Amino acid sequence: MRALVAEDQALLRVGLVRILEISGIRVTAAVQTAAELEEALTDEQLDIAIVDVRLPPTFTTEGLAAVVHARTVRPGLPVLVLSQFVEPLYARELLAAGRGAVGYLLKDRVVDIDGFVAAVHQVAGGGTVLDPEVVAGLVSARPLHRLTERERQVLTLMAEGRSNTAIAARLFVTEKAVDKHINNIFIKLDLPPTADDNRRVLAVVAWLNA
Q: How confident is the model at residue 34 (pLDDT cuts 50, 70, 90)?
A: very high
Q: Are 107 and 72 contained in the same domain?
A: yes
Look at the pTM and tell me if it is higher than 0.85. Answer: no
Residues 86 and 147 in one domain: no
pLDDT higher than 80, residue 95: no
71 and 102 within one domain? yes
160 assigned to some structural domain: yes
Asked if 34 and 66 touch (Cβ cutoff 8 Å), the reply is yes
Instruction: Judge if 90 and 123 occupy the same domain.
Output: yes
Last residue of a domain, which of 131, 154, 171? 131
Mean pLDDT (the chain, rounded): 83
Instruction: Classify residue 107 by its DSSP letter.
Output: G
Ranking 42-56, 112-126, 178-192 by mean pLDDT, the lowest is 178-192
Domain assignment present for residue 91? The answer is: yes
**Please, which residues have CB within 8 angstroms of residue 84's CB and are 6 or more apart in sequence?**
53, 54, 106, 107, 108
137 in a structural domain: no
The answer to whether residues 116 and 89 touch, using CB atoms and an 8 Å cutoff, is: no
Judgement on whether residues 54 and 23 belong to the same structural domain of the protein: yes
